[in-house]
């Protein structure tokens, strides 16, 4: 179970980077960097079935993760979340195969755990002892937990109106919490300044290559859930887009290893109407995402006015023949109540947005009755109370 990472690569210009050093983004085009593996080797030594027999959690994909030495693994039991059938929700809108990938059971109650488990482990392997992150909330909680687990320090920059549970958990884990007036973009500027001043390592979304690698494990798990196939449609509540781009990368890797065929799910990015830069770019056919002014939504994880990996997000949606949909605050609140009262699942507002988005698309006839649809519930509703 040895990582087969070979190098890092810029998806825009192809420039290669050394994975044995700490890297951030492409020096030429500022693009996020992607980890590349010896997929021929993995193809010969590991199958989807074999991986399925290993101990649960994201680390059973070790060959396809960047960590070279298992002694640097920082884990709280992240990953391998259930795919919960939602027959009553789906039935209510005439769909027969809707299920929910329920990420709420991850450590710290959101899927941010997957990405930060890998990013923290890898950075520690490369010598980092002090981390910094700007966050809408959940990523800060996850960083604080993993940093504490690894006995290193973390500084978390969070908008002052972030959910109280996120503020509480960061302090409880013993990290430094800095509340910032404004949005995650303002927190990002502060975090970058402090990182430069103190030599802290910045694990902002897509500003280092490995949170993406943790999140891509959701794609492997889906292929497993569906017996070596993939669903027809995936609805993903999109902030920075890590999971969307990560799953897309996982699908490419699995096809290259012969684990799956070339069929792909249509990827749907769901956003809040009060902050919908991805939806606007899809509607206007743009290749880049313009910053959204005056972003506002109670779904904190979706309040990302200017996603850094804009080219990669748009490419995944376009290549998959997917789409993007914006839902209102009222639709999100209603969706959250419906998920709870029909399927027994108290979703985060971001996860509820996926269900609201599916209702929209089903009403437009965009989703077929028999199609296998996966909604992502990315976190626990309990963190927003």
The minimum distance between CB 128 and ligand PLP, in angstroms, equals 22
Q: Are 74 and 108 in contact (CB under 8 A)?
A: no
Measure the CA–CA gap between 267 and 269, rounded to whole angstroms: 7
Q: Is the dihedral of CA 30, 31, 35, 40 positive or negative?
A: negative
| Contact status, residue 368 vs residue 123, Cβ threshold 8 Å | no
- Whether the CB-CB separation of 180 and 155 falls below 8 Å is answered with no
Is 38 among the residues that bind Zn ion (CB under 5 A)?
no
Residue closer to ligand PLP, measured from CB, 242 or 312: 242
In the complex, the smallest distance separating the C-beta of residue 31 from Zn ion, rounded to whole angstroms, is 5
336 makes contact with ligand PLP (CB under 6 A): no
Number of neighbouring beta carbons within 10 Å of residue 93: 16
Contact 363, 343 (CB under 8 A): no
Site for ligand PLP in 304-323 (CB under 6 A): none
Q: Are strands 153-159 and 83-85 parallel, antiparallel or unpaired?
A: unpaired
For ligand PLP, the closer of residues 194 and 350 by Cβ is 350
Q: At what angle do helices 112-125 and 211-225 cross, to 10 degrees?
A: 130
**According to CB under 6 A, which one of 19, 112, 114, 359 is a site residue for ligand PLP?**
112
Which of residues 10, 350, 355, 356 is near ligand PLP by CB under 6 A?
350
219 vs 241 by CB, closer to ligand PLP: 241
* CA–CA gap between residue 133 and residue 204 (Å, rounded): 5
Two tokens at 324?
């993007």
By CB under 6 A, the count of residues binding ligand PLP is 17
**Which of 75, 110, 121, 354 touches ligand PLP by CB under 6 A?**
110
Interacting residue with ligand PLP among 42, 58, 268, 348 (CB under 6 A): 348
Span 204-263, contacts to ligand PLP by CB under 6 A = 205, 237-243
**Closest residue by beta carbon to ligand PLP:** 301
Token pair of 255, please? 């096809």
Convert residues 128-167 into a mask of x (bound to ligand PLP by CB under 6 A) and - (unbound): ----------xx----------------------------
Kind of pairing between the strands at 34-37 and 5-9: antiparallel
Distance from C-alpha of 96 to C-alpha of 155, rounded to nearest angstrom: 46
Matching residue, tokens 């891509």: 216
CB of 30 to Zn ion, least distance (A): 8
Write out the residues near ligand PLP by the rule CB under 6 A: 110, 112, 138-139, 205, 237-243, 301, 348, 350, 378-379
Write out the residues near Zn ion by the rule CB under 5 A: 10, 12-13, 15, 26, 28-29, 31
């Amino acid at each position: 179970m040895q990582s087969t990472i070979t190098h890092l690569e810029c998806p825009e210009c192809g420039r290669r980077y050394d994975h044995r050093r700490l890297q951030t983004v492409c020096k030429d085009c500022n693009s996020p960097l992607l980890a590349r593996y010896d997929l021929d080797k993995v193809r010969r030594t590991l199958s989807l079935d074999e991986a399925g027999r290993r101990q649960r959690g994201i680390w059973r994909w070790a060959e396809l993760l960047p960590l070279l030495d298992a002694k640097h693994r920082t884990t709280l039991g992240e990953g391998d979340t259930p795919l919960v059938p939602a027959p009553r929700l789906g039935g209510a809108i005439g769909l027969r195969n809707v299920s929910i990938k329920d990420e709420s059971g991850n450590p710290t109650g959101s899927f941010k755990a997957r990405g930060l488990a890998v990013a923290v482990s890898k950075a520690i392997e490369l010598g980092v002892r002090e981390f910094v992150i700007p966050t809408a909330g959940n990523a800060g909680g996850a960083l604080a937990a993993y940093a504490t687990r690894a006995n290193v320090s973390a500084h978390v920059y969070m908008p002052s109106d972030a959910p109280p549970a996120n503020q509480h958990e960061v302090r409880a884990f013993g990290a430094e919490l800095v509340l910032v007036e404004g949005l995650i973009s303002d927190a990002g500027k502060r975090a970058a300044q402090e990182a430069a001043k103190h030599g802290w390592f910045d694990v902002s979304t897509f500003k280092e290559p490995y949170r993406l690698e943790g999140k891509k494990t959701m794609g492997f798990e889906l292929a497993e859930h569906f017996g070596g196939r993939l669903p027809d449609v995936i609805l993903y509540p999109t902030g920075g887009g890590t999971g969307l781009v990560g799953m897309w990368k996982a699908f490419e890797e699995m096809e290259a290893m012969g684990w799956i065929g070339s069929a792909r799910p249509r990827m749907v990015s769901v956003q809040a109407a009060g902050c919908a830069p991805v939806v606007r770019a899809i509607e206007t056919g743009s290749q880049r995402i313009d910053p959204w002014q005056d972003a506002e939504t109670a779904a904190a994880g979706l309040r990302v006015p200017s996603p850094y990996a804009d080219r990669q997000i748009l490419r995944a949606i376009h290549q998959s023949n997917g789409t993007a949909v914006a839902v209102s605050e009222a639709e999100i609140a209603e969706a959250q109540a419906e998920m709870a009262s029909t399927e027994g699942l108290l979703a985060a507002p971001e996860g509820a947005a996926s269900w609201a988005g599916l209702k929209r698309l089903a009403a437009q006839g965009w989703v077929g009755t028999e199609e296998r649809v996966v909604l992502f519930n990315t976190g626990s509703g309990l963190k927003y109370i």
